[in-house]
Amino acid sequence: MTRRTARRAATLRSSRRVRPRSVRRAGVAVAGTLAAALALAACGSGADAGDGGPLKAAGCPKQPVTHWAQPSPGGGPHKVATAMGEVTVPAAPKRVVVLDTAELDSALTLGVKPVGATRSDVDTGFLDYLPKDDTAGIKDVGRIGAPNLEAVAALEPDLILTNKVRDGRSYRQLTRIAPTVMTETTGYPWKQNFATHAAALGRIPQARKVVAGYETHVRQVTAALGGPAKAKALRTNVVRFVEGADTRVYGCRSYIGTVLDDLGTGPTDVVNGAEDGLMTELSAEQMHRADADAVFYASYGSPEKSKEAQVTSGPLWKNLRAVKNGRSFRVDDQLWIQGIGYTAADKILDEVRERLAKR
């Protein structure tokens, strides 16, 4: 694994797991206690503190084009291009095990109920945005990134879907259980990953219909926001409070960043220079930098332990233009950050329309 891949793996793992404050944000120091930081910020910091100064858009690159495999012509076993090379899979897998949230979203979106799946770090097991009827009966095979291989094998799967970031080290063991289709990573390349999942599941025609429906949905929500020009002028930041870590603002190369980019809107330049384009981390006294025309925020962990409650009740947060204008919205972390796929994306689009279209 290269140093770049290792850094990306660590960052993606942290997007769902609570971990201690790391020293990887060299050069950013926390000045005093949270209360002192909020009091200092309340004294005023000019245009950056939400007094109506200009907002600058992030320099987001164009999203990559999705490449689709050709459906298997004979209806038999076929090869799928994966991050580990070509893998031969059954024509229509019947017993699928998925080892991450994106793979679970893809399978259910395409009408395939896995026999087993890993769970995220949530009390309810599988993510709450997924319909309970769809996840009922799926066997829990351990936590994401640490599946119980014996439990996986006991299900006698004929296909395993995962990615190298989570399970690259276990690839050989997984292939001894069943054909294993791995994408390189998760998150940002979710659209291409969905196409790979569809090829593995033998559901490419169905997947193309899903994508077409999503694109229609995007156009409808964009129109509700006032059209492409108004949507493009709208700056939206997604803020995540995390227990044991600094607050995150998600960038252009994050899952949620791509969904908002599809609407034409996107983050402010606070995310410029983010490592791998994923996110910028802000300490308490820097929270004014998260300001935007609209701010969506969520917490990983309890609002108290993640510092959400303290920050959002303090003067620094209340001085943001988004808050002053009634455009700060608390959203579900499981849906907006942890859930990665077209089912999640469609639900997010509905929430954006509900909260911004009439404001």
Radius of gyration of the chain measured on its C-alpha atoms: 21
Alpha-carbon distance of 173 to 149, in angstroms, equals 8
* pLDDT score for 359: 55
Helix axes 342-356, 255-262, angle to 10 degrees: 60
| Torsion (CA) 120, 122, 123, 124 in degrees, nearest 10 | -70
Contact indicator for 193, 106 with CB cutoff of 8 Å = yes
What are the φ and ψ backbone dihedral angles of 242, each rounded to 5 degrees?
-130, 125
* pLDDT score for 274: 94
Sheet harboring 159-163: ordered strands across?
A: 146-147, 139-143, 116-119, 96-98, 159-163, 180-183
What are the φ and ψ backbone dihedral angles of 305, each rounded to 5 degrees?
-70, -30
Contact indicator for 147, 300 with CB cutoff of 8 Å = no
Name residue, tokens 């569809």: 198
Name the token pair of 7: 């850094």
Name the token pair of 161: 């879907």
Q: What is the 3-state secondary structure (H, E, C) of the chain?
A: CCHHHHHHHHHHHHCCCCCCCCCCCCCCCCCCCHHHHHHHHHCCCHHHHCCCCCCCECCCCCCCCCCCCCCCCCCCCEEEEECCEEEEECCCCCCEEECCHHHHHHHHHCCCCCCEEEECCCCCCCCCCCCHHHHCCCEEEEECCEECHHHHHHCCCCEEEEEHHHHHHHHHHHHHHCCEEEECCCCCCHHHHHHHHHHHHCCHHHHHHHHHHHHHHHHHHHHHCCCHHHHHHCEEEEEEEECCCCEEEECCCCHHHHHHHHCCCECEHHHCCCHHHCEEEECHHHHHHHCCCEEEEEEECCCCCCCHHHHHCCHHHHCCHHHHCCCEEECCHHHHHHCCCHHHHHHHHHHHHHHHCCC
* pLDDT score for 124: 62
What are the φ and ψ backbone dihedral angles of 271, each rounded to 5 degrees?
-90, -5
Give the residue among 144, 78, 154 at the shortest CA–CA distance from 340: 144
- Which positions of the chain have pLDDT values less than 70? 1-53, 122-124, 359
> Which pTM does this prediction carry?
0.86
* pLDDT score for 125: 78
* pLDDT score for 71: 82
